[in-house]
């Protein structure tokens, strides 16, 4: 990994952001404009009895950033606005919460992060197939609704499941991680005929 090669110390970098050096850390990212669902994720996980902390990246959404910064939660939250340093924050995280877009999924997988996404009737057709791909590969959890986020995170943090998912990602990487975006694209291409009819 680039960050390890550059001599980044994960524990130190977490401390620098005001986070705990060793607690399980989730990265929450919903594209360049953020999403209000991040507020409910921050409240649910921030006030959960689970020992964890979150890095929330709001993109250009200043209002969302301000609201997240005002939250008072049991667990630590680090809130960031628009940044080009996504890989840096991924390096500090243990799991990823976001939407099933091909860009963020392939980045997260490249950084060995298990992925938690939502997929339901409102999810874009191509993103639904990405979610399906994550589920099939066993490298992520697909929720019907982010209201279930606490139990999903609990399930990956307990009983070594997060390590199993990481192992699957590594095995996938041995088959060349760079195949991942094309795989997602291919899945989408195969289904684009259906998508047009939806």
**Rg of the chain (C-alpha set):** 16
The CA-CA-CA angle for residues 151, 180, 145, to 5°, reads: 25
Residue ranges covered by each domain of the chain: 2-197
Cα(64)–Cα(145) distance, integer angstroms: 20
Cα(31)–Cα(60) distance, integer angstroms: 9
CA dihedral 12, 16, 17, 22 (to 10 degrees): 30
Q: How many other C-beta atoms are found inside a 10 Å radius of the C-beta of residue 49?
A: 8
What average pLDDT does the segment 172-176 reach? 63
Residue whose C-alpha is closest to residue 96's, from 178, 138, 153, 148: 153
Q: How distant, in Å, are the alpha carbons of 15, 18, 33, 131, 155 from that of 121?
A: 40, 38, 22, 13, 24
Q: Residue 74 corresponds to which tokens in the numbers above?
A: 């049991």
Cα(126)–Cα(196) distance, integer angstroms: 11
111-131, pLDDT tens digit by residue? 999 999 999 998 988 889 889
Residue whose C-alpha is closest to residue 74's, from 94, 99, 54, 104: 54
Residue showing tokens 């809130």: 79
| Among the ranges given (88-97, 149-158, 187-196), the one the predictor scored with the smallest mean pLDDT | 187-196
Name the more confident of 32 and 80. Answer: 80
Query: Quick check: 194 pLDDT over 60?
Result: no
What average pLDDT does the segment 84-95 reach? 95
Q: Note the pLDDT of residue 145.
A: 96
Cα(143)–Cα(191) distance, integer angstroms: 21
At the fourth CATH level, the homologous superfamily of domain 2-197 is Glycogen Phosphorylase B; (3.40.50.2000)
Mean pLDDT over all residues of the chain?
A: 87
This prediction's pTM: 0.87
Residue whose C-alpha is closest to residue 50's, from 26, 68, 78, 30: 26
Q: Residue 71 corresponds to which tokens in the numbers above?
A: 């939250």
Query: Quick check: 79 pLDDT over 90?
Result: yes
Name the more confident of 121 and 66. Answer: 66
Q: Note the pLDDT of residue 90.
A: 95
């Amino acid at each position: 990994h680039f960050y390890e090669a550059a001599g980044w110390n994960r524990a130190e970098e977490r401390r620098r952001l005001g986070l705990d050096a060793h607690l399980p850390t989730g990265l929450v990212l919903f594209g360049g404009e953020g999403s209000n669902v991040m507020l409910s994720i921050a409240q649910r996980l921030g006030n959960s009895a689970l020992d964890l902390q979150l890095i929330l990246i709001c993109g250009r959404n200043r209002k969302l950033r301000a609201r997240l910064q005002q939250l008072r939660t049991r667990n630590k939250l680090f809130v960031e606005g628009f940044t080009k340093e996504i890989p840096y924050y991924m390096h500090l995280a243990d799991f990823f919460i976001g939407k099933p877009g091909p860009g963020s999924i392939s980045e997260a997988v490249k950084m060995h992060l298990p992925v938690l996404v939502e997929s339901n009737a409102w999810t874009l057709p191509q993103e639904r197939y990405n979610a399906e791909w994550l589920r099939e590969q066993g490298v992520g959890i697909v929720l019907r609704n982010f209201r279930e986020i606490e139990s999903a995170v609990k399930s990956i943090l307990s009983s070594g499941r997060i390590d199993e998912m990481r192992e699957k990602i590594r095995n996938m990487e041995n088959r060349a991680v760079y195949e991942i975006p094309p795989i997602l694209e291919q899945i989408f291409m195969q289904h684009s005929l259906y998508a047009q009819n939806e």
